[in-house]
Amino acid sequence: GAVVSQHPSWVICKSGTSVKIECRSLDFQATTMFWYRQFPKQSLMLMATSNEGSKATYEQGVEKDKFLINHASLTLSTLTVTSAHPEDSSFYICSAGQGTQNQPQHFGDGTRLSIL
């Protein structure tokens, strides 16, 4: 149980393109989903916390107009990288929580984004 599906797993696109990444909880309802970014040899850095039916909470330094997050249902959150540039190239991964803070997070497989 507690499977999170993330799609796509790999994207290569031209500079200026917008890219949407989907994160779905397949067998549970996720009231909260988290979006992380990881640059080479660095740790997973939280970008934003997504709550179903409300606006996402962004971490300091993360541009909310650049990284649009939508959490329209209890099983789906999306991250859209708008007008992507080479510096946005990174590994993006989502996770979902099942409820209490003592529960682990369940992660997707991640998306490798390369902007040419």
Partner 1 sequence: ILNVEQSPQSLHVQEGDSTNFTCSFPSSNFYALHWYRWETAKSPEALFVMTLNGDEKKKGRISATLNTKEGYSYLYIKGSQPEDSATSLCASRGGGTASKLTFGTGTRL
CB 12 within 8 A of CB 79: no
Q: Distance between CA atoms of 100 and 14, rounded to whole angstroms?
A: 41
Question: SS3 of 89, please?
Answer: coil
The residue type found at 23 is C
Interaction of residue 114 with partner 1, rule CB under 8 A: no
**Distance of closest approach, residue 57 Cβ to partner 1, in angstroms:** 7
Residue from 50, 108, 113, 115 touching partner 1 (CB under 8 A): that is 108
Nearer to partner 1, 19 or 94 (CB): 94
CB 78 within 8 A of CB 69: yes
CB 111 within 8 A of CB 94: no
Q: Distance between CA atoms of 45 and 77, rounded to whole angstroms?
A: 18
- Which positions from 39 through 68 interact with partner 1, judged by CB under 8 A? 41-46, 49, 57, 59
Stretch that binds partner 1, among 22-30, 71-79, 81-89, 102-110 (CB under 8 A): 102-110
Residue from 30, 33, 34, 79 touching partner 1 (CB under 8 A): that is 34
List contacts with partner 1 (CB under 8 A).
Answer: 4, 6, 34, 36, 41-46, 49, 57, 59, 93, 95, 101-110
